[in-house]
Amino acid sequence: MEIIIQPNAETASLIAARVIARVVREKPSAVLGLATGSTPLAMYRELARLHREDGLDFSGVATFNLDEYVGLPPEHPASYHAFMQEHFFRHVNVRPENIHIPDGLAPDIPAFCRSYEEAIRAAGGIDLQVLGIGSDGHIGFNEPSSSLASRTRIKTLTAQTRSDNAANFGSAEKVPIHVITMGVGTIMDARQVLILAFGEKKAEAVAAAVEGPITAMSPASILQMHPVAKCITDEGAAAKLTRTDYYRWVYDRKPGWQKV
């Protein structure tokens, strides 16, 4: 795993956006796996700016979102459908028919999850998957103890995750208990993974994922096994890493063709 430590979340987000822009420019029909929450907001703003000012073209891109709450209609302000429209899709030219977000109202959730996996395969697989990391090490909504070989499915949220997501609902009690999420195995199938982590509250989770043992109790730790994974953090999220000097040394001395 490549560790990229930046002074703050803003500069880290600019690097993340450049990584995605390179993928899209090199493969105009790229398939992107997208994440929600506060972590990728600055990245989405920069991608929108690159589209608006530099002509970054998303017209051939297909997208698959990681997850959605069960029971929320797409128009609900706290749904991930609404989030993606507000913060990304309405600012770029991704075609509506190429946008895929789990259906929280699916009448047959297991059947929907199978069809979501089939749609990813039919699109040719995910070229780059964007991830955040939970304070307990979850990726997507794969909570600690999730199978590291899991596929898209329904999951029950922990009390910690519901508390972390309470701001969009008014209280933790109003956060849905169940979600549809891509599985860890689905995430690992992506050709490239980009994990973003900002703030001291994520420091323990980042240290466990990057330098700890690979374990289902820290689902993000499986990314150590991914052939092309980049972890981009700010100083706060990197605070508990033990080899920060080495990570900075490596990043500062990358050959020109590797830099973004």
Q: List, for residues 32-82, the tens digit of each pLDDT value.
A: 999 999 999 999 999 999 999 999 999 999 999 999 999 999 999 999 999
Which CATH code for domain 2-254?
Answer: 3.40.50.1360
Q: What is the pLDDT of residue 22?
A: 97
Rounded to two decimals, what is the model's pTM?
0.95
pLDDT tens-digit series, residues 133-144: 999 999 999 999
CA proximity to 233, closest of 205, 192, 191:
205
235 is catalytic: no
Choose, from 67, 68, 103, 189, the residue flagged as catalytic.
Answer: 67
Choose, from 136, 164, 189, 234, the residue flagged as catalytic.
Answer: 136
User: Which conformational region is residue 72 in: left (phi greater than 0), alpha (psi within -120 to 50 degrees), or beta?
Assistant: beta
226 is catalytic: no
User: Which conformational region is residue 187 in: left (phi greater than 0), alpha (psi within -120 to 50 degrees), or beta?
Assistant: alpha
Q: What is the mean pLDDT of residues 120-134?
A: 98
* pLDDT at 257 > cutoff 90: no
Gap between the Cα atoms of 160 and 63, Å rounded: 28
pLDDT tens-digit series, residues 75-99: 999 999 999 999 999 999 999 999 9
Gap between the Cα atoms of 47 and 209, Å rounded: 27
Choose, from 46, 68, 127, 143, the residue flagged as catalytic.
Answer: 143
